[in-house]
């Protein structure tokens, strides 16, 4: 459908976590959330779309010495750049408009020496709002809009090997009605209620420790972070394994997040062999799904990794995450011997959909491929819903979820926002005992009945007036 982007705005709110979220080299206790709104004309009629994300420190660029304020300013800069340059773009389809924005942002980032993963965070927010505006104008859910030409998506324009294939051939016929919540176990998370000091116990009606979360949500899938120190990882994994085996059903499974802690395949292989070979951990490791991004992004896609994989034929499935920064990253990773990649909306919708199409084509040829669903601490009222809409469309059954765990539901949002979410997504959210919406997880699953039939999932007109509006000009 032909379109024109006519205007854009950015809105912001500051959020505090209910408990510290320690991931890799960062610990999140408060974080800004941005909402961006695009005004468009779709097939000659006015429409609009909204996208949202947190601005998490130390993920897009893992530079230990950079101040948090600088990192937030850098994230806002790439968002403003993508938005400002998108205004006035006319294109025959949303996919064509995205390609123009992607190419412009790539060229600018290269000239400014900005890492692609960070630069295209801005692209992804514009892309998400653009997709919603077209889905809304056409009254199409995401999966249908991808497969029937409404968005103009062409897998082969991203992965040339798919030039003669269509999204309708390569995507699931129907979105998933439910997904498994793969619970993040942060590096600072308490594993048992008894281990929480009295002065750190929360009184917000939500579970805090791992054992409480398993019991409250019926969890079966987990994401465990390691820090690369063998003694620390041994102690942590043994404790996690004990908690999971004691409280979770027998069909539990887990992924391991390497947090970019290793600078070579040999270093990670040695670490892995010690962990997986431990007599107390060996039974637990039989439930492993995959290992996520153990190698630092500086070396993760170098030829040396392929050489190391050649010398380690019985390695576990290893995927990239932070290294999936451009449309060329996945083919490079597969050629080196990785098993796959993750999907996160912050890395791009069309890129992620094309990657899913590539995996499904490879599976037809007998290749083992892993596409995981990972989380950037997604919370409502928009980000987590759009994320789940994509996961359902791609058929990703095990999806990392942690925003509901580290944030007290939607308690920090205005009453009007809370009511909008509950009215539109009664099966996805429930009222907590403190009378604010929180994500509903039952028997370890999230029900997507309210998500799959809405234009890009959201299904309501978010009132942005309570949020601070910031300018598009770079500060």
Q: Is 435 left (phi over 0), alpha (psi -120 to 50) or beta?
A: left
Average pLDDT (282-298) is 97
Average pLDDT (67-76) is 92
What pLDDT digit, counting tens, does each position of 95-152 carry?
A: 999 999 999 999 999 999 999 999 999 999 999 999 999 999 999 999 999 999 999 9
pLDDT at 446 (0 to 100): 98
- Give the start-end residues of each E strand in 306-404: 318-320, 340-343, 370-373, 398-401
Banded model confidence at residue 317, pLDDT cuts 50, 70, 90 = very high
Count Cβ neighbours within 10 Å for each residue of 453-463 and write b for 16 or more, e otherwise.
ebbbbbbbebe
Banded model confidence at residue 250, pLDDT cuts 50, 70, 90 = confident
Comparison of pLDDT for 250 and 71, the residue scoring more: 71
What pLDDT digit, counting tens, does each position of 12-40 carry?
A: 999 999 999 888 778 889 999 999 999 99
Residues 63 and 202 reside in one and the same domain: no
Q: Into how many domains does the chain fold?
A: 2
Residues 145 and 221 reside in one and the same domain: no
Q: What one-character DSSP code corresponds to residue 315?
A: P
Residues 151 and 185 reside in one and the same domain: no
In a domain, 466, yes or no: no
pLDDT at 474 (0 to 100): 65
In a domain, 123, yes or no: yes
In a domain, 464, yes or no: no
Among candidates 247, 313, 233, 249, which has minimal Cα distance to 287? 249
In a domain, 465, yes or no: no
| Mean pLDDT estimate for the chain | 95
Query: How many residues in the chain?
Result: 475
* pLDDT reading at 469 higher than 70: yes
* pLDDT reading at 84 higher than 90: yes
Can you give the residue range of the structural domain that contains 270? 169-457
Report yes or no: 352 and 17 within 8 Å, Cβ to Cβ: no
pLDDT at 362 (0 to 100): 95
Between strands 3-23 and 468-470, the pairing is antiparallel
Residues 175 and 158 reside in one and the same domain: no
Residues 291 and 402 reside in one and the same domain: yes
Report yes or no: 5 and 32 within 8 Å, Cβ to Cβ: no
SS3 197: coil
In a domain, 471, yes or no: no
Tally of CA atoms within 13 A in the half-sphere of 295 that contains its CB: 25
Share of the chain above pLDDT 90, in %: 90
Report yes or no: 95 and 16 within 8 Å, Cβ to Cβ: no
In a domain, 474, yes or no: no
Helix, strand, coil share (%) of the chain residues, nearest 5: 40, 20, 40
Report yes or no: 141 and 455 within 8 Å, Cβ to Cβ: yes
Domain boundary among 118, 133, 164: 164
- Give the start-end residues of each E strand in 367-450: 370-373, 398-401, 429-431, 437-439, 445-447
What pLDDT digit, counting tens, does each position of 389-420 carry?
A: 999 999 999 999 999 999 999 999 999 999 99
CA angle 432, 437, 440 (to 5 degrees): 75
pTM above 0.85? yes
In a domain, 470, yes or no: no
Q: What one-character DSSP code corresponds to residue 140?
A: -
| Burial class of 299 by CB neighbour count within 10 A (0 to 12, 13 to 18, 19+) | middle
Average pLDDT (149-175) is 97
Residues 120 and 176 reside in one and the same domain: no
Residues 190 and 249 reside in one and the same domain: yes
Report yes or no: 281 and 238 within 8 Å, Cβ to Cβ: yes
Report yes or no: 404 and 438 within 8 Å, Cβ to Cβ: yes
Q: Tell me the C-alpha distance between 455 and 440, whole Å.
A: 21
Report yes or no: 379 and 421 within 8 Å, Cβ to Cβ: no
Radius of gyration of the chain (CA): 21
pLDDT at 61 (0 to 100): 86
Residues 125 and 191 reside in one and the same domain: no
Residues 365 and 388 reside in one and the same domain: yes
What pLDDT digit, counting tens, does each position of 356-387 carry?
A: 999 999 999 999 899 999 998 999 999 999 99
| Cα dist from 210 to 55, 222, 229, 405, whole Å | 26, 10, 22, 10
Q: Tell me the C-alpha distance between 413 and 33, whole Å.
A: 11
Among candidates 318, 395, 311, 400, which has minimal Cα distance to 142? 395
Q: Tell me the C-alpha distance between 158 and 180, whole Å.
A: 29
Share of the chain above pLDDT 70, in %: 99
Comparison of pLDDT for 224 and 250, the residue scoring more: 224
Residues 298 and 389 reside in one and the same domain: yes
Domain boundary among 164, 199, 229: 164
SS3 214: helix
| Phi–psi pair at 433, nearest 5 degrees | -65, -20
Give the CATH number, domain containing residue 320: 3.20.20.120
Residues 153 and 188 reside in one and the same domain: no
CA angle 241, 242, 247 (to 5 degrees): 100
Domain boundary among 164, 189, 204: 164
In a domain, 462, yes or no: no
What pLDDT digit, counting tens, does each position of 267-278 carry?
A: 999 999 999 999
* pLDDT reading at 475 higher than 60: no
Among candidates 458, 453, 452, 441, which has minimal Cα distance to 399? 441
Q: What one-character DSSP code corresponds to residue 237?
A: H
| Cα dist from 43 to 4, 85, 90, 277, whole Å | 9, 21, 11, 60
SS3 35: strand
Give the CATH number, domain containing residue 126: 3.30.390.10
pLDDT at 66 (0 to 100): 83
* Report for 53-67, 210-224, 451-465: range of highest mean pLDDT: 210-224
What pLDDT digit, counting tens, does each position of 208-236 carry?
A: 999 999 999 999 999 999 989 999 999 99
The residue with tokens 């959909």 is 353
Average pLDDT (156-181) is 97
Residues 229 and 294 reside in one and the same domain: yes
| Burial class of 221 by CB neighbour count within 10 A (0 to 12, 13 to 18, 19+) | buried
pLDDT at 449 (0 to 100): 95
Q: Tell me the C-alpha distance between 85 and 72, whole Å.
A: 20
pLDDT at 82 (0 to 100): 97
| End-to-end CA, the chain | 35
């Amino acid at each position: 459908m032909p379109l024109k982007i006519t205007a854009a705005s950015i809105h912001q709110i500051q959020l505090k976590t209910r408990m510290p979220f320690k991931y890799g080299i960062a610990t999140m206790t408060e974080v800004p959330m941005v909402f961006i709104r695009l005004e468009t004309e779709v097939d000659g009629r006015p429409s609009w779309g909204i996208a949202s994300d947190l601005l998490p420190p130390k993920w897009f660029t893992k530079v230990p010495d950079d101040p948090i304020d600088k990192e937030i300013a850098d994230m806002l800069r790439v968002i403003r750049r993508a938005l400002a340059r998108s205004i006035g773009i006319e294109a025959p389809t949303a996919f064509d408009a995205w390609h123009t924005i992607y190419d412009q942002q790539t060229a600018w980032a290269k000239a400014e020496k900005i890492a692609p993963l960070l630069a295209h965070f801005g692209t992804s927010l514009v892309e998400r709002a653009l997709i919603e505006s077209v889905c809304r104008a056409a009254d199409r859910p995401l999966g249908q809009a991808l497969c029937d030409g409404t968005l103009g998506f062409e897998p082969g324009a991203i992965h040339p090997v798919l030039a003669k294939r269509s999204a309708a051939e390569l995507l699931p016929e129907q979105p998933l009605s439910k997904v498994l919540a793969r619970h993040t176990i942060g590096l600072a998370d308490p594993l048992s209620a008894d281990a929480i000091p009295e002065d750190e116990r929360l009184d917000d009606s939500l579970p805090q420790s791992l054992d409480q979360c398993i019991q409250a949500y019926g969890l079966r899938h987990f994401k465990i972070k390691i820090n690369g120190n063998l003694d620390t990882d041994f102690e942590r994994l043994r404790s996690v394994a004990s908690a999971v085996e004691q409280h979770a059903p027998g069909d539990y499974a887990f992924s391991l997040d390497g947090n970019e802690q290793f600078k070579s395949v040999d270093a990670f292989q040695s670490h892995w062999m010690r962990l997986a070979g431990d007599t107390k951990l060996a039974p637990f490791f039989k439930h492993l799904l995959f290992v996520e991004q153990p190698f630092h992004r500086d070396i993760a896609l170098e030829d040396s990794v392929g050489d190391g994989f050649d010398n380690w034929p019985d390695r576990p499935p290893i995927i990239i995450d932070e290294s999936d920064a451009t449309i060329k990253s996945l083919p490079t990773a597969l050629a080196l011997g990785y098993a796959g990649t993750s999907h996160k909306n912050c890395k791009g919708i069309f890129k992620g959909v094309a990657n899913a199409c590539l995996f499904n084509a490879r599976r037809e040829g007998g290749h083992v491929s892993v596409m995981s669903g990972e989380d950037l601490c997604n919370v409502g009222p928009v980000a987590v819903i759009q994320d789940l809409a994509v996961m359902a469309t791609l058929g990703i059954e095990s999806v990392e979820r942690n925003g509901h765990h580290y944030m007290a539901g939607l308690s920090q949002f205005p009453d009007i926002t809370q009511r909008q979410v509950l009215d539109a997504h009664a099966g996805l959210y429930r009222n907590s005992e403190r009378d604010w919406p929180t994500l509903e997880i039952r028997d370890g699953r999230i029900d997507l009945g309210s998500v799959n039939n809405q234009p890009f999932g959201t299904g309501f007109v978010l009132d942005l007036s309570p949020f601070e509006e910031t300018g598009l000009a770079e500060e």
